[in-house]
Amino acid sequence: MHKDIWLIVLGLCLVFFELFFGAICQLDIFFVGLSLIIAGAFYYFGVSWQLSLVISLVVVLFYFALLRQFYKKKLLIFFQRLKIDTVVGKTAVVFEPIHVNKKGAVLLDGEIWQAKAKTSFGKDKEVVVISLEKNFLWVAKPENL
C-alpha cells in the first residue's frame, strides 16, 4: 500500500464500518472516518501527516461542537417515525390461531407477525396490538382496551 494513503484507508474503514453495521454510534464513527479521509487527502497532496491530523481533529471538533446537535435532532425525529412500536394500538387479523400464552400469527399492515394473547383467538378474528415484546406482538380483543 502506498504510504501516503493510510489516513484515507483508515477513514474508509471507519465509514464502511458505520455503514455496514448501521447507525450504531448514530453516525459519529462515520464523521470521524470522513475527517480522516479529508486529512488523508491533504497528506496525499503534500501536507505533513501531523498537520493533516490536526486538520482531522479540527473537523471532528467542528462536528461534535456544532453539527452533531443539529443532525441529532433531525435524526431523532426520523427514528421516532420509524420506531417499530408504532404498531401498538393497530388492528390486526389472526392468521394462525393463537392459544393462551402460545404463539400464533397475525396479519398487520400486510406483514405476518408472531403473536401471543391471554385468551385464544381463531383464524380471521380481529385483534388489537397491545404491546411489542422482543420479536412478537401481544394482542387482545378490541373491546378489552
User: Are 96 and 129 in a shared domain?
Assistant: yes
User: Are 71 and 139 in a shared domain?
Assistant: no
- Interhelix angle 6-21/49-62, rounded to 10 degrees, is 30
- The domain of 53 spans 3-82
Res. 77 pLDDT band, cuts 50 70 90: low
Whole-number Å distance between alpha carbons of 31 and 45: 21
Q: Is the pTM of this model over 0.85?
A: no
User: Are 30 and 56 in a shared domain?
Assistant: yes
Res. 65 pLDDT band, cuts 50 70 90: confident
Lowest average pLDDT, out of 19-23, 35-39, 51-55, 79-83, goes to: 79-83
Residue identified by cell 403473536 is 115
Question: Structurally, how many domains does the chain consist of?
Answer: 2
